[in-house]
Structure 1
Amino acid sequence: MSSSEVPQGNPTDNDYVSRPGHKRDPIPVLSDEAPIEEETADNVAVDKSNIIDDKTRHAA
């Protein structure tokens, strides 16, 4: 596919956004434009005890 055939722009699809009043359901669905806290989530998800000298154990 040549670069002239590649669609331009920023694709978004908000068809699956939770309706007002349903955002407190067990798994809320956010819109594509909603800000997310990736850094916070990443910091919580990383098991710090598994890191040795800036690498995880068993990493090549």
Structure 2
Amino acid sequence: DELVPGRYRLTFDTATYFECTNQDGFFPQVNLVFLVRVGEKYHLPLLLSPFAFSSYRGS
């Protein structure tokens, strides 16, 4: 299924992840806001550590 073009937000519940892995995390939630355009594919990796996160548009 294709996404309708527009602005989207992915919310990651990182607090639950950190609790399940017995880690103290600084960011209890990570929000990624991005634009969807017609005919494009999206892969949004989230790189996460207890005190940092990073994301990019993958291939």
Question: Considering the TM-score relative to the shorter chain, is it more than 0.5?
Answer: no
Higher percent of residues as strand: 2
Greater share of residues in helix: 1
Q: TM-score, normalised by structure 1?
A: 0.22
Larger Rg: 1
RCO higher in structure (CA 8 A, sep ≥6): 2
Normalised by the length of structure 2, the TM-score is 0.23
